[in-house]
Structure 1
Amino acid sequence: MINDETRRKLRELNLAEMVNGLEQQQPDTVTMSLSFDERLQRLIDYVYQEKYNSKIQRLIKSARFRFPQADMHDLCYEGRTLNRELITELSMCQYIDSHQSIILQGPTGSGKTFLSCALGKQACLNQIKTRYVRFPDLLMEYGDASLIQGHQKKMLNKYGRIPLLIIDEWLVSDISDGELYFLFELMERRSDSTSTIFCTQYRKEDWVKRMDEGIQAEAIVDRYAYSAYWIETGTMNMREYYSRNSKL
């Protein structure tokens, strides 16, 4: 049995999981009968798994998903145009390693947000930092940052470095010239170095119009709308579908 001083030192070294693992081993006669090397291996496996689980939970919490419970196994494919093989491939997160992006396009209620959160959670499970934000909230944050000198640059640096950024309700709000310049700078920093998931109601031909058809708007569209994985989520209203099935 380890003494209190050893417990204190382990916790100070951020190894509280080792304390718990050792205490779990003590009453287990089978484990205690193993050799030192075997017990140490089991202990290290336990500590590794606990630290991994803690990191994943921190990543999921910091991502601020709209649907933190979203899971790839809960996706509905019945009656939808979703390509199961492609979605499965994307769930492996290799597109993030390749700095590719995804556009989920469909009407309100077609499951874009749920799918984006499920893909985002897969990234977290692969220990990839992820952040979910609604487009209107992103513009509001930019507006607040504009009031304080230097905060716009800090905001660009913060969002520009996130390996996977999910922007929900993309282009749902009208955009001012200042906001368009901010989006241009943000997408310029993220292009070819990070991955972005856009959830939008608008088809690619409507993107430039939503951004007032300027050069910066064309540059944003050119960087994403033609090279990203374009996934149409279909016309089925998923809220209605799940509500109807929950009553059966």
Structure 2
Amino acid sequence: MNYQTVEQLTEMKLHAMKLEYARQEELPASSELSFDDRLAMIVTAQYDARVRAKTNRLIKKAELREPTASLSDIDYDSARKLKKTDVVRLADCQWIKSGNNLIITGATGVGKTYLLSAYGRQACMQGYSVKCYRTTRLLTNLTIGKGDGSYNKLMKDLVRPDLLILDDFGMKQLDLGMTQDFLEIIEERYHHQRSVAISAQLPVKDWPSVFKDPTIADAVLDRIVRNAYRFNLKGPSRRPTVEHMPAYADDSASEKEYIEQ
């Protein structure tokens, strides 16, 4: 009977249940548990395994720039002007459920991408779908899409996730076409009450300078900023300096190869 049960669990691909069942069979103390207790442990094992698998799929699909970033590992050094209470307040991701936005600003290297990725990963762990893009690259892909016919599909893909992460916004001024595309993205997500999380070096007050058309700038900012939580990170760059980088035997390696090692 035990063999048949194991085979059936295998055939139904209930592998976590099979492992928990086998574990209980090997432990003499399990015989002291009631049937209901043992069944509950077996079902819980399968449920937890499916939750983990779903979370891993969501994290992989999100394509976060820092996929292992975690809110529990945030550094609250006083120089960063980052309050733990403010970070934890958003950890339940209710702001995503409510369709609110998140804005993280600060100088280069202060940890904007890490914090943004940590919230993205937290959202995945809460069961929300997430997608992360570098802003300029995304807008370039949309421009290309107008020529190769992929524009409409990409735009639809930008509406689907519960949370859309746009990293490195404002690195350069957007031309009129990119400005209109950015408005289209924000307008569609605003219409569907879906959240956007943005990181930028520029303070929010300077964002209008990124857009070629001031009218479009007003429309975009009204839809993003009005219902957004904000973090403005301070402090020195957290990226390793040259003297803290690992040394390599081959001094002839290119800069690209050096960085990638």
TM norm structure 2: 0.84
Match of 2:34 in 1: 35
In 2, distance between residues paired with 1:83 and 1:9?
52
Equivalent in the alignment of 1:16: 15
In the alignment, is the contact (CA less than 8 A) between 1:135 and 1:173 conserved in 2? no
Measure, in 2, the Cα distance between the counterparts of 1:180 and 1:126: 33
**Structure 1 residue 228: deviation in Å?**
1.0
Counterpart in the other structure of 1:238: 238
Cα distance in 2 between the residues matched to 1:12 and 1:170: 49
Aligned-partner residue type, residue 122 of structure 2: Q
Q: Indicate conservation of the 8 Å contact 1:191/1:223, yes or no.
A: yes
Aligned partner letter, 1:81: K
> For the structure 1 residues 224 and 40, does the alpha-carbon distance in structure 2 shift closer, same or farther, using more than 3 Å as the test?
same
Write out per-residue CA displacement over residues 37-89 of structure 1, whole angstroms, 9 at most, x where no aligned residue: 22111101111111111111111111111111211121112111112211110
Q: CA deviation at 1:16?
A: 2.4
Match of 2:199 in 1: 199
SS of equivalent to 1:146: helix
Change beyond 3 A, Cα 1:86–1:21: same
Structure 2 letter corresponding to 1:141: N
Runs of 4+ in 1 over 6 A off after TM superposition: none
Matched residue of 2:147: which SS? coil
Letter of the aligned partner of 2:83 in structure 1?
N
Q: TM-score, normalised by structure 1?
A: 0.88
1:99-119 CA deviation, whole Å, 9 max, x = no partner? Answer: 111110111001100111111
Instruction: Give the letter for the 1:169 counterpart.
Output: D
In 2, the alpha carbon distance for the partners of 1:41 and 1:9 equals 18
Q: Deviations over 1:124-159 (max 9, x none)?
A: 11111112211122123213322233x212111111
Q: 1:214 to 1:2 in 2, by over 3 A?
A: farther
Question: Which moved further from structure 2: 40-49 or 204-213?
Answer: 204-213
Aligned to 1:170: 169
Aligned to 1:106: 106
C-alpha contact (below 8 Å) 1:110/1:234 kept by paired residues: yes
| 1:168/1:200 contact within 8 Å kept | yes
The SS at the match of 1:3 is helix
Give the structure 2 partner of residue 131 of structure 1. 131
Deviates more, 1:91-100 or 1:31-40: 31-40
TM-superposed deviation, 1:175: 2.0
Q: Give the superposed CA RMSD.
A: 2.1
Q: Distance in 1 between matches of 2:186 and 2:227?
A: 14
Look up the match of 2:122. 122
Tell me the matched-pair count: 241
Q: Is the 8 A contact 2:9 2:18 kept in 1?
A: yes
Q: Report the identity percentage.
A: 29
Aligned partner of residue 33 in structure 2, secondary structure: coil
- The 8 Å contact of residues 62 and 130 in structure 2, kept in 1 or not, is answered as yes
